[in-house]
Amino acid sequence: MSDNNNSGIDLFSPVKLGNLTFSNRIMMAPLTRNRAGAGNVLQDMNVEYYRQRATAGLIISEASQISPQGVGYPLTPGIHTAEQVAGWRKVINAVHEKGGHIFIQLWHVGRISHPSLQPNGDVPVSCSAIKPEGDAITYEGPQPFVEPRALEIDEIKQIVDHYRIAAENAQDAGFDGIEIHAANGYLIDQFLRDGSNQRTDEYGGSLENRYRFLNEIVQAVTKVWEPSRVGVRISPENAFNSISDSDPQTTFNYVAEKLSGYGLAYLHVVEGDMLTGALNVDYRKIKDLFGGHYMANLNYTLESAQQAIASGNADSVAFGKLYIANPDLVERFKQGAELNTPDMDTFYGGDEHGYTDYPTLETASA
């Protein structure tokens, strides 16, 4: 169970999840960097990138597609071919050699794709045939999203099975666990939120029905992994990728309460809207309904993270942009050292520049 207040615990306190013990509560958030190689296979610079950040309590990998249909961006890694598994194995070995832990984030983008990224130029899929606003990121540059095709029920079952197979592949690669990406407007989130899910069958309408897809995925992957090696990420009020819900508090109270019965490793929550900064949901309520380890995320600083841990509003905190620019973020936080500034121009795509060449305290003083 999660503590109501974490007296005597701070970001640097170890934490035990199942039979894994993490050395601190400074987690590395999943960060899409678009630097995989041919076949969406990771390469040597990716191994170095993760190795540099292995002092995080837990690394959650960049989102990794469970199937060719799950692809939504150029040069993002997958976990559905033998070559992809082999690429990840090198990363995992490097992290483990440094004493770190790493979960893989399993991903299907749903409608946030483009025919040019899909097998055979197919139309992307979703729960309902509702086109998102904005542009897809393709190899030819930004292109307007297209209207997705609504999945048939047998296809939904097939995608659930793709999550199971991806979970098995992650185990084969040597990951310490998996995170189900149910946030940020991608396929599972499209099912959860009523702005994108207008189905009239057993996967739409009521909260129970909109939650069904996520529930079936959790059931499938926890047959492969112990529940204590499985996390779920949600983003109750994030409008990223043209997603919305008429009552996010009620929707995600329900999701948190239902997930509480599985004994999962954690619930990873994007608190607020990445686009506007709006923060209208009672996240403590979601934490309490989940009842297990609650990982907070979005725009935390050292000070606000320490406060969240001390007050019991979070059990750990995941950092994103700060981990892009500060591979030794744990040590910098410990020393109260100055932080490197993230270079947004090098976030997505490119080479080692802005990826593996940020200075550490050790290299800066050499």
Burial class (CB in 10 A: 0-12, 13-18, 19+), 156: buried
Q: Reply yes or no on whether the pLDDT at 1 is more than 50.
A: no
> How many Cα neighbours within 13 Å face the side chain of 61?
36
Report how far residue 119's alpha carbon sits from residue 49's, in angstroms, rounded to the nearest whole number. 29
pLDDT digits (tens, 9 = 90+) for 264-295: 999 999 999 999 999 999 999 999 999 999 99
Report how far residue 64's alpha carbon sits from residue 311's, in angstroms, rounded to the nearest whole number. 33
Structure tokens, 121: 């130029």
At 6 the pLDDT is 75
Residue boundaries of the structural domains of the chain: 15-365
Q: pLDDT band at residue 7, thresholds of 50, 70 and 90?
A: confident
Candidates 1.20.120.1460, 3.20.20.70, 3.40.50.720, 3.30.70.580; CATH matching 15-365: 3.20.20.70
At 362 the pLDDT is 87
Instruction: Give me the percent of the chain exceeding a pLDDT of 70.
Output: 98
**Torsion sign, CA atoms 349, 273, 167, 156:** negative
Mean pLDDT over the full length of the chain: 96
Q: Reply yes or no on whether the pLDDT at 4 is more than 70.
A: no
**What secondary structure letter does DSSP report for 151?**
P
Q: Reply yes or no on whether the pLDDT at 344 is more than 50.
A: yes
Catalytic residue among 49, 186, 294, 323: 186
At 366 the pLDDT is 63
Structure tokens, 136: 């897809």
Q: Reply yes or no on whether the pLDDT at 3 is more than 60.
A: no
At 157 the pLDDT is 98
pLDDT digits (tens, 9 = 90+) for 94-119: 999 999 999 999 999 999 999 999 99
Yes or no: say if 114 and 124 are a contact pair by the CB < 8 Å rule: yes
pLDDT digits (tens, 9 = 90+) for 230-242: 999 999 999 999 9
Q: What is the pTM of this model?
A: 0.97
302, containing H or E segment: helix 302-311
At 5 the pLDDT is 67
Closest CA to 156 of 114, 204, 117: 204
Yes or no: say if 41 and 85 are a contact pair by the CB < 8 Å rule: no
Report how far residue 355's alpha carbon sits from residue 52's, in angstroms, rounded to the nearest whole number. 10
Q: Reply yes or no on whether the pLDDT at 317 is more than 70.
A: yes
73 a catalytic residue: no
Yes or no: say if 291 and 1 are a contact pair by the CB < 8 Å rule: yes
Mean of pLDDT values over 50-57: 98
Q: Going by DSSP bridges, is the β-strand pair 294-297/266-270 parallel, antiparallel, or unpaired?
A: parallel
Yes or no: say if 325 and 35 are a contact pair by the CB < 8 Å rule: no
Report how far residue 52's alpha carbon sits from residue 65's, in angstroms, rounded to the nearest whole number. 24
pLDDT digits (tens, 9 = 90+) for 122-155: 999 999 999 999 999 999 999 999 999 999 999 9
Strand partners, 233: 181, 268
Q: Reply yes or no on whether the pLDDT at 51 is more than 50.
A: yes
Report how far residue 10's alpha carbon sits from residue 27's, in angstroms, rounded to the nearest whole number. 13
Report how far residue 88's alpha carbon sits from residue 100's, in angstroms, rounded to the nearest whole number. 15
Q: pLDDT band at residue 169, thresholds of 50, 70 and 90?
A: very high
Q: Reply yes or no on whether the pLDDT at 2 is more than 50.
A: no
At 144 the pLDDT is 98
Mean of pLDDT values over 180-199: 98
Cβ neighbours of 242 (radius 10 Å): 17
Instruction: Give me the percent of the chain exceeding a pLDDT of 90.
Output: 96
